[in-house]
Structure 1
Amino acid sequence: MLLLIVAAAVLSGAIAYSVFPWLRHFYTDAPLWVAQAPDSCDLHQSSCRVTVPGGWVELSLSPNPIELLTPLSVQVTTSGVSSAGVQVDFSSPDMYMGYNRPTLQATENHGEYVGATSLAICILETMTWEARVLLEQPDGVGAVSFFFTTTRRF
């Protein structure tokens, strides 16, 4: 009897998984889609634009060049991509640098979001950073990764 109940539960879960894919965002953190800025992108010089399903996403950080322990203005501009909310997750593939994910505020300009943050100092002289733009959409989250390096000056 117990085996029958377990089998029914597993079968029900499999059916729900396949029939209701829009429930995916309730049980996984996996993004709906992922894009990455090309290597030619240099956020120290200017904003970078990446093509995503349905449009594009652009990230700008200022002041330039990007410095550690300095207040940074963050701006994300989108076109063709609807978003109920935008966050930018700053992390490093080199080492854990703590949680740094500001939620950006929509401006009066359609598709424009702004916020502020700063980057922590590290024991490494040169640090690689990933600024991952997370766009909340009706079906889940889309993600765009932008990479840049910083150099500790003190």
Structure 2
Amino acid sequence: MTETSSPGRPTVLLWAIAGVLLAAVVAVALYKAWPLLNPTLSEVAPLDPSCDLRSGPCEARFGGGESVRFAIEPRSIPVVTPLRLVVQTAGFDVRAVEVDFAGVDMNMGYNRAGLEAVGPGLYEGQGTLPVCVRARMEWEARVLIHTADGISAAPFRFETRRD
């Protein structure tokens, strides 16, 4: 009796191994990226509902007396246009500052801008808001202050309007 092998069997095995390896690579990438996408926050300042970034800078205060002042220019806050982001901190030993833009009731993907120190407690950078299918979109700009003790966040809400 002669033994015959199926010509498709090695190919199926190779595809199965490739699939398992791909799943493992995706799992490791998600595990490594999770802290970047969802950082653990040591403190979050209370949201000031009277803040209007279109009128001018807004300020958030933390429990320990620290504060963050945030401004966006141009004040009309257009989408798909470079925005100048300005953050002024007081009372923090800052290692880095980022601004994370998130849709309040719609996932708009990863929209985070790193800011550069331009003076004592003063940070500037550029960010861009993506276009949304809605004519009016509510956003939260979360200023992330990286310190030796962790990340403190100051939330600021605003809306964009499309004509």
What TM-score, normalized to structure 2?
Answer: 0.73
Report the number of matched residues.
126
Instruction: Read off the aligned partner of 1:102 and give its amino acid letter.
Output: A
Partner of 1:63: 74
What do the CA deviations read for 1:13-44 (whole angstroms, capped 9, x no partner)? Answer: xxxxxxxxxxxx9xx93311101331110001
What do the CA deviations read for 1:128-148 (whole angstroms, capped 9, x no partner)? Answer: 000001010102100110000
The one of 128, 131, 156 aligned to 1:118? 128
The one of 98, 116, 126 aligned to 1:105? 116
How many angstroms does 1:71 deviate by? Answer: 1.1
How many angstroms does 1:60 deviate by? Answer: 0.5
% identity of equivalent residues = 39
Distance 1:135 1:54 in 2: 14
The runs of at least 4 aligned residues of structure 1 exceeding 2 Å deviation read: none
> Does 2:92 match 1:81?
yes
Structure 1: stretches of 5+ with no match in the other structure: 1-24
Could you tell me whether the CA contact under 8 Å between 1:69 and 1:118 is conserved in 2? yes
Partner of 1:47: 57
How many angstroms does 1:127 deviate by? Answer: 0.4
Distance 1:115 1:29 in 2: 20
Distance 1:99 1:56 in 2: 25
The one of 27, 35, 41 aligned to 1:31? 41
What do the CA deviations read for 1:50-70 (whole angstroms, capped 9, x no partner)? Answer: 111332100000011111112
RMSD between superposed Cα atoms in Å = 1.5
Instruction: Read off the aligned partner of 1:100 and give its amino acid letter.
Output: N
How many angstroms does 1:111 deviate by? Answer: 0.2
What do the CA deviations read for 1:60-83 (whole angstroms, capped 9, x no partner)? Answer: 000111111121000100111121
What do the CA deviations read for 1:74-96 (whole angstroms, capped 9, x no partner)? Answer: 01001111210000000102211
Structure 2: stretches of 5+ with no match in the other structure: 1-34
What SS does the corresponding residue of 1:113 show, helix, strand or coil? strand
What SS does the corresponding residue of 1:84 show, helix, strand or coil? strand
Partner of 1:144: 154
Partner of 1:134: 144
